[in-house]
Amino acid sequence: MDEAMNKINWNDGGPTGDDFTARTEDGYILRAEDMGGYWWWQVYYPDGTQADVNCDLGISTEHAAKGICEIIYRLHRQIKP
């Protein structure tokens, strides 16, 4: 497993503290955002397309939303390098 897959550094949540982004060394973008009662998440390929268009699950915590992003990222890296 390469270094890009080992450590994901999330930003501080932006001005409102509830919109988190992580850019991986290999060009993926991971997002987790508090939508007021649930957390939305998405993973984007380096070309900007969504890795999972069905990300509308009502995730209850920031930690869970970020964790799903990291899992989806790692799975997609294995499928589509």
Residue 50 exposure: Cα atoms within 13 Å on the Cβ side:
8
**pTM over cut 0.75:** yes
Bridge partner residues of 23 (DSSP):
29
Tens digits of per-residue pLDDT, 28-73? 999 999 999 899 999 999 999 988 777 667 789 999 999 999 998 9
DSSP H/E element including 68:
helix 62-79
CA–CA dist 19, 31 (Å, integer): 7
Query: Beta strand 19-23 with 39-44: parallel, antiparallel or unpaired?
Result: unpaired
| Per-residue pLDDT at 77 | 80
pLDDT-derived band at 80, boundaries 50, 70, 90: low
